[in-house]
Structure 1
Amino acid sequence: MTDRSSTGCGSAHCACSGQMQIVPASINGIALHEPGEALDAETLRERAYAELLRQRAVFRGLLPGAHVLVAPELNAAERHVLEAMTDEEVTCPEPTDDECRRYYDANKPHFIVGQALHVRHILFAVTPGVNVHALTQRAEAALLELARKDVPPGRFEQLAAELSNCPSSAEGGSLGWVSPEDCAPELANELFFQTDSRWGMGVHPRLVHTRFGLHIIEVLGRKKGNLPAYEDVAESIRQRLQHQSRATALRQYMRLLVGQAKVEGIELDGADSPLVQ
C-alpha cells in the first residue's frame, strides 16, 4: 500500500489543514508512481518488482542508465532483456529420474485417468456476515442425522431441498458424475486424493470444507479409473517438478533483490542471504 501523510500550512483555520497526500512508494529512491496517484496493492507490487529488475539490469549494463525520478514504463524490448537476465541468473537443477519416480509413487491418485464419483451434496454456504459457528452446528446436526443407519429413504433429498444453498437442491443435491477436474481443488483433494478418500459408498463421515462453504457429501457410484505406468507420465512429471523448482528459485531471487534494495512505502518480502529457501 502507498503511505499517506497529513500536509498543510499548520493553521487549524486553514482549508488545507488535515488534507491527505499520497506519498509515493519507492525503490532505491525511484518513485513507483506519480505524487497523488493511487494504486491498488497488486499493481504497486508489480511495479516494484519490475523496477527491482530494471535496476538490476542497469547495474549489469544490460540496460542504459536513466536519470529518472519515477520508475519508467518498460517497452517490449526492455522486458525481453529482463526476461533473458532472469533466465540467466535464476538457475535450478533438472529433476533426476529418481526424483520423478518418487513423486510418482507419492502422488499416484493424481495420475489416475478416468476416475469419477456419482455424488450429491448439501451446501451450507459461508457468506459475508454469516454466523459460521451456528452454520457449522446446523451442518453437523444434518450430517449426524444422515449418517444414522435408520435414516429414512429420501431424507437426503429432503434436507438438500430445505438446507442447501446450491442450485442442485432442486435435484435433491445431485451433482451427477464428477471427476477431479470438475471439482473445486479442496473438494477434489478430499474426495479423490486423500489416503482415506476411497471410503466407499454412502455419506462422507465428515463435513468437507471448500471456498464455497461446508458440504455434506454422499457417494452414489464410483468409477475407479486406471493408473498409467510411470513411463507414460514421466515427462509431464519432469516438467511439473522443473516448474516448481524454478518458481521456488525465482521467489528466492526476488527476495534477494528486495533485501539488497532500499524499499520505502511498500512491504515486500526480502532477505539479505543467498541461502534463503
Structure 2
Amino acid sequence: MRSRWTGIGSSSVTNTYTNPVRIGVQLQPQHADYASIRRAVAEAEQIGVDIAFNWDHFFPLTGEPDGKHFECWTMLGAWAEATSRVEIGALVSCNTYRNPELLADMARTVDHISNGRLILGIGSGWFERDYDEYGYDFGTAGGRLDDLAEALPRIESRLGKLNPPPTRKLPVLIGGGGEKKTLRLVAKHADIWHGFGDAEVIERKHRILDEHCAAIGRDPAEIERSVGTNRHGEPGGVGERTYALGTRLFTIAISGPDYDLAPLREWVAWRDEKNKGLAG
C-alpha cells in the first residue's frame, strides 16, 4: 500500500495523507499451543484486520522465560494456507538468524503459498538469549545494524534472480527507531517503517525519516508509517494522536496463551470510520 502526500520534504505533521488506515495484529507465539495460535489468526481474519504478524524469537519475551514457543517462518508458511485474505508477515524477522539469500527464497516461497500476501518484515535483532542459545554471534547493536545494511541489497538481488519470481514486489517493512542508521536504511530500502512511542517520539522519527529521504532524493510518500500498540491502547487515544502525524498502519500486540481479540473489533470499526469516502 503506497501513501500519497501533499508537499514533499516537509514535516510529517504538515503533510496530508490520503491513503487508508490499516489495522494489523501481532499474535505473539508464546505460551500457547499451536492450535490456539491457528484459531487466533483465523479469527483475526474474520474480524477484518488487514495484516497478521507473528515475531521472530525462539523464547518467550514476557511471562515464564521457558514457556511454550514456536518458530516464526515455518508458522508463516502454515498461516499462508490457513488464511485467504489477510496479509501476513514477521514483526520482524531477525536478519542475522538466516543467510540473506535463504531468507529471500523463504519469503518468495511464502509469498507464492499465500498468493501474494507476504510482507517481508526485517530488523537487526536485539534479544540476546536467542543468539546465545542458538549459537549466533550477538556482537554489538551497531554491528548488527551494519549486518542488516549489508544484507538488504543481497536480499533484493536474490529476489530478482529467483525462478519463479515473487508474485509482486514484496513490501519490505523495517522495524526500529535508530535515527542515524535504521531510519537511513528505511529511507533507502523500505516500503513500511514500523516504530513505537508516544506522539512526540513518532513525530520526531517521521521528521528524521523525511530528512533521510530528502538526502537520497526519495519521495517520503513511498514509505507507509506504522506504529505498534498493546491490546489496551485505544483508537481514540494513541490512534488519533499518531494518525494526526501521518501514521496509517496500527498494529495491536496480543499474547498467548489466550488470545483475546476483542480490542481488534474496536480498531477495525475505527479504521472503517476513518476510511469512509476514500474509495470515491
Q: TM-score scaled to structure 2, two decimals?
A: 0.19
Q: TM-score scaled to structure 1, two decimals?
A: 0.20
